[in-house]
Amino acid sequence: MTKNTMTNILERKRFLFSLITVFLFLLFIPNLVLFNPVAIHVLCMIFLYAFMAQSWNMIGGFTGQFSLGHVTFFAIGAYTSALLYVNYNIPTSISSLIGALISCIVSIAVGLPFLRLRGHYFAIGTLTFTFATMQLFTSMTSITKGAQGVLIYPRQSNPLYLLFYDRTQYYYLIMPLTFAQLLLTVFLLRSKLGYSFLATREDPDAAESLGINTAKTKIIAFAISSIFMSIAGSIYANYVTYINPEIVFSMEFTVAIISINMVGGLGSVWGPLIGSFILVPFSEVIRFTIGSKIIGIHMVIYGFVLILVTFYAKGGIFATILRALPKIHREDFETKR
């Protein structure tokens, strides 16, 4: 990434100004909701899901390769940090990076056979790999305690360990992290690597003819996205303090992050955040109210959301509205039509 690109972006004062405003607003939301624990929890989930959705976006939205098994890296991150803490008292800030490294290696191992080809192979490969890995984790009872799960214990409040008693502190961890990832994504997209992502998605043949190694690009995108997903998993494990294979490999995460991307606008930078702000509170409210009476209702809703958005609002709900507004700088909101 050249110095020119960097200054170009920062010179767009409006962009910088709006970014800072949004960040400050987000910083003080907890105060706005009077630190209501339920609201804080929903906010944490919004940003955590936005983080995960953005990481999926890197391979799914920008590079066009749908990974149906992203939750595997989530699980790897969760288990790595949980087990390293419980067994060896390693701080999560470090173990999450270890988990990210493992996820990176795994993603390259899975990506190599399936990303070389076009077509459904990658989606199928990731889906089946998730099941296989879940079985593996459940079977290795000596290491992972199998279906019994891992309890994050002892509990403490320690920033280095990324463990807190107060959910508000988790918010101040997750929100800036998501924001930092957003910034990173913006810069990534304007870099040569980012352009090769987009080119691979738009027209692989043209990209190849220009000298872009599409296979390598796809694998890099997959590796980067797996790293972020893994970090999200580590944080999630600390947040919920108990994990087992069924929780961390749940199809619900895959579905949620794909839905969030579709609603927010597939392949746009702000899409995951917007989609998350729309879908997560909605699903949490549904879960609180009728979720206990009607089991599985929010998954049915996700299913309908997916189908309806694909049929009628492909660029995402927000982008469809935004197209009516001419003046806003649209590159970051632009999605693939």
Partner 1 sequence: MLEVSALNGLTLIQALIEGLSLGGIYCLISVGLNLVFGVMNIVNFAHGEFLMVAMYIAYWLNYILGVDPYFSIFIVAPLMFVFGMLCQRILIEPILDREQNDQVIVTLGLSLILQNLILFLFSADYRTILTPYTYLTFNIGGIHVPFVKILCVLFSILSLSALYIFLYKTKTGKAVMAVAQNRIGASIVGVNVARVDMIAFGLALALVGIGGAVILPYFWVFPSVGQLFIVRVLLIIVAGGLGKLKGAIICSLIMGITESITVLFVAPIVKDFILFVVFTTIFLLKPGGLFD
Query: What is the binding site for partner 1 (CB under 8 A)?
Result: 60, 64, 66, 68, 113, 116-117, 119-121, 123-125, 127-129, 131-133, 135-136, 138-139, 251, 255, 258, 262, 294-297, 299-300, 302-307, 310-311, 314
- CA–CA separation, 24 and 60 (whole Å): 30
Q: How far is the CB of 19 from partner 1 (least distance, A)?
A: 30
- Identify which of residues 131 and 165 has a Cβ nearer to partner 1 in the complex: 131
- CA–CA separation, 62 and 336 (whole Å): 9
Q: How far is the CB of 53 from partner 1 (least distance, A)?
A: 14
- Identify which of residues 120 and 192 has a Cβ nearer to partner 1 in the complex: 120
Q: How far is the CB of 127 from partner 1 (least distance, A)?
A: 7
- Identify which of residues 235 and 263 has a Cβ nearer to partner 1 in the complex: 263
- CA–CA separation, 159 and 173 (whole Å): 9
User: Counting beta carbons within 10 angstroms of the beta carbon of residue 314, is it exposed (0 to 12), middle (13 to 18) or buried (19 or more)?
Assistant: middle
- Identify which of residues 112 and 328 has a Cβ nearer to partner 1 in the complex: 112
Length of the chain measured in residues: 337
How many C-beta atoms surround the C-beta of residue 206 within 10 A?
11
Q: How far is the CB of 280 from partner 1 (least distance, A)?
A: 17
- CA–CA separation, 115 and 101 (whole Å): 20
- Identify which of residues 32 and 140 has a Cβ nearer to partner 1 in the complex: 140
Give the list of residues 6+ apart from residue 31 with CB closer than 8 angstroms, or none: none
Q: How far is the CB of 247 from partner 1 (least distance, A)?
A: 15
